[in-house]
Amino acid sequence: MRAVALMEFDGPEGLQVIDRELPDPAPGAVRIRVRAATVNPADTGFARGVLRAMLRHEPPHVPGMEAAGVVDAVGEGVDDLAIGDRVMAVVLPLGRNGGAQSERIVVPRASVARTPDHLSDAEAATVPMNGLTAIAALDVLNLAPGEWLWVTGAPGALGGYTVQLAKDRGLRVVADASDADEQLVYDLGADLVVSRGADSADRVRLAVDGGVAGVVDGALLNSAVAPAVRPGGTIVAVRPFEGPAPSGIKVELVMVADYIRDAERIERLRDAAARGVITPRIAELLPFEMASAAYRAVEAGGTRGRIVLTF
């Protein structure tokens, strides 16, 4: 089988297509014939060596954190999926089998959900990683219906899913966006959109009397969001928090790697996708042989929706 791989952490230029042995699924695991896998900012960081210290095996290293396709084989003990079933999966690319950007992947059953019938494989591939992060972030916040949530980076994949899933829970959502993205964010369901800039937190504080109850910081603004949060509120960071901890405000770190075997949340995400709560957005489809071009485009920024590699 073929896979996108890194022999050295040279970013997009270090990617190449290699041949690998076909892996067999272990007990409790599923092998998936991949039809689509996304390229995320996390993948471009991986290609630059961000997670190098966590790897315990020699190259090649296969990136990718989410994929969709069909079940190709099942391990012992997996009796609720059959060969040919359409599925989507979240993948951690640190093990010897690597990540999602491969013609075949083996993942724990708990990391897999059936693909909703109305989604294409490419659409389904955009759901698991950012959708699971959004659900975990909202669970950590545990806000009551009617409370205000600020979502930074709302035009992005994580931010967009967070807005939609928050509205499904009855929350009120304020988001910051550029003028070009304002209508997109309103279309996602935000109640208020403020201009993006160095004073975004002040704008949010003015728009929401008393401040927001929580923040999901998809844009990695860190302590800059604190002025918008009411005392006792919570900031959910999706990368290690930088800067001093704001006084009287909780900071919670949500990393998708901690949830990749969380079958209950993954099934809730699948249900939300099946109900049409979240809107998968695809910026571009590229054959996996063009992975380097996909990574360069993600690093350049400005894409709305995910670039998806097709297999």
Q: Tell me: the pLDDT tens digits for 173-221?
A: 999 999 999 999 999 999 999 999 889 999 999 999 999 999 999 999 9
pLDDT at position 242 = 86
**Is there a contact between 83 and 50 (Cβ–Cβ < 8 Å)?**
no
Three-class secondary structure of residue 39 per DSSP: strand
Average pLDDT, the chain: 95
Contacts of 2 (CB under 8 A, 6+ apart): 17, 18, 19, 20, 102, 103, 288
Amino acid, res. 13: E
**Is there a contact between 62 and 101 (Cβ–Cβ < 8 Å)?**
yes
Which fold would CATH assign to domain 2-127+280-310? Quinone Oxidoreductase; Chain A, domain 1 (3.90.180)
pLDDT at position 51 = 87
Output the CA–CA distances (angstroms, integers) from residue 23 to 32, 62, 73, 104, 107, in the order listed.
10, 14, 10, 8, 11
Alpha carbon distance 250, 229 (integer Å): 10
Phi, psi (degrees; rounded to nearest 5) at 267 = -70, -35
Residue 255 structure tokens: 């990393």
Nearest alpha carbon to residue 149 among 263, 33, 228: 228
pLDDT at position 52 = 85
Query: Which stretches of the chain score pLDDT less than 70?
Result: none
**Is there a contact between 129 and 38 (Cβ–Cβ < 8 Å)?**
yes
Tell me where in the chain the CATH 3.90.180.10 domain(s) lie.
Answer: 2-127+280-310
Sign of CA dihedral 200, 206, 211, 216: negative
CATH of domain 130-257: 3.40.50.720
pLDDT at position 198 = 87
Output the CA–CA distances (angstroms, integers) from residue 9 to 14, 64, 175, in the order listed.
6, 14, 35
Tell me where in the chain the CATH 3.40.50.720 domain(s) lie.
Answer: 130-257
